[in-house]
């Protein structure tokens, strides 16, 4: 089982756990891309996500774990994952 989950903040598709599971319980996983920690940086609402996302974009879309960053990575392309 190697299911991957989508980060609702930056659209990164590679989280090990669902960010918010049963009963909205946060995973406390930190997204290796945008660095959002589910349950710590905010709750499961778009309000928190978009605020964090905005700041992340303004600060230059830095990867939290730089070695996870793929070559030719494009944050705009990744953000499109969120629009489904």
CB 3 within 8 A of CB 13: no
Helix H or strand E encompassing 15? strand 13-15
Segment contacting Zn ion by CB under 5 A, of 23-31, 40-48, 68-76: 23-31
Q: Is 15 in the site for Zn ion (CB under 5 A)?
A: no
Q: Is 10 in the site for Zn ion (CB under 5 A)?
A: yes
CB 44 within 8 A of CB 26: yes
Q: Is 9 in the site for Zn ion (CB under 5 A)?
A: yes
Residues 48 and 14: their CA atoms lie apart, in Å, by 20
Residues binding Zn ion: number (CB under 5 A): 7
- Applying CB under 5 A, among 26, 29, 34, 52 the residue interacting with Zn ion is 34
Site residues for Zn ion per CB under 5 A: 7, 9-10, 12, 31, 33-34
């Amino acid at each position: 089982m190697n299911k991957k989950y989508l980060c609702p903040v930056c659209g990164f598709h590679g989280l090990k756990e669902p960010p918010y599971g049963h009963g909205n319980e946060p995973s406390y996983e930190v997204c290796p891309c945008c660095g959002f920690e589910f349950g710590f940086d905010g709750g499961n609402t778009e309000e928190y996500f978009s605020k964090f996302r905005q700041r992340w974009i303004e600060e230059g879309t830095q990867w939290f774990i730089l070695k996870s960053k793929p070559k030719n990575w494009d944050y705009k392309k990744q953000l499109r994952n969120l629009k489904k």
